[in-house]
Amino acid sequence: MQRIITGLLLLLASTLAQANVKCPDAKVQMLYPTEEKTFIQLEGQNWQVLGFVGDDDLPTKMAIAQRAKQQSQPVELTFKNGHDKECLSRDDTSPVIKIKARKEKKNKD
């Protein structure tokens, strides 16, 4: 019995320790709302689900994405673990859990 409990605790700890996936910073190319969800496409990446209609945080994520697009700022999308790390695959089921506008990196010559 103790082995089972120890095994379950180790499984739970390893699940909690898994890090979220952050896609490479890129500029917002397009936003595409549908009846069920809103998609986002970043330059050089595939379409991803920004959020589902009815999600409490979708309006905030949309505002960040639209502002970043208008200001030509790159954004960073964060997904739950298991998502494609380069965001090259299309995923219609895993929504963005966090979107963060990033400052443009300036080249030093």
What pLDDT is stored for residue 72 in this prediction?
95
Which two structure tokens, joined as six digits, stand for 88? 């090259």
9-13, 31-35, 56-60: which range is least confident on average?
Answer: 9-13
Q: Are 44 and 26 in contact (CB under 8 A)?
A: yes
DSSP state of 49: E
**Over the stretch 42-96, which tens digit does the pLDDT of each residue have?**
999 999 999 999 999 999 999 999 999 999 999 999 998 888 777 888 888 899 9
DSSP state of 82: T
